[in-house]
Structure 1
Amino acid sequence: MSLQKPLMRGLLAKRLRFHVPIAFALSMLTAVGWKYGVTEPRKQAYAEFYKHYDATKEFTAMREAGIFESVRPKGE
């Protein structure tokens, strides 16, 4: 009793027909998961932060603390 020879002709095309749609579906699922799991909460956090952010107030506080070398505090 001998073993049957493996069918090599068309093997790549046959396997690609099976694996490419699965890879595409998994990549789309990952992209959607990343969008709604990472980027949307991050955008919401930035929007919430900048809703109450006052750049002038922050600059004045840093200037008074002496962080900037080129800008002196008022009164000097």
Structure 2
Amino acid sequence: MASGALTKPQMSSPLARCLRFHIVGAFIVFLGVAAKFAAAERRKPPYPAHTDFYRNDDSMKDYEEMRKAGIFQSAK
């Protein structure tokens, strides 16, 4: 006969080990994506640079030039 009682197997240990692995992996992927977006945000030009174009833009003048050039077939 056995002298000691057998210890119960731990059923949650494989699940905990798998979850720990995936949580660490997801955190590393998250840091990579966040760094990519942060770098893209830094390189984005500031919005006020685009306002110079619209400040001096005359859309009616552009429309008339395109109409005279024959780009629009329905507007004669």
TM norm structure 2: 0.58
Partner of 1:28: 34
* Structure with the greater alpha carbon radius of gyration: 2
User: What is the one-letter code of the residue matched to 2:54?
Assistant: Y
Match of 1:52 among 35, 49, 56: 56
Taking only the aligned residue pairs, the percentage that are identical comes to: 24
The answer to whether 1:70 aligns with 2:67 is no
5+ residue gaps, structure 1: 1-7
Once the two structures are TM-superposed, the CA of residue 44 in structure 1 deviates from its matched residue by: 5.3
5+ residue gaps, structure 2: 1-12
Q: How many residues align?
A: 63
State the Cα RMSD in Å.
2.6
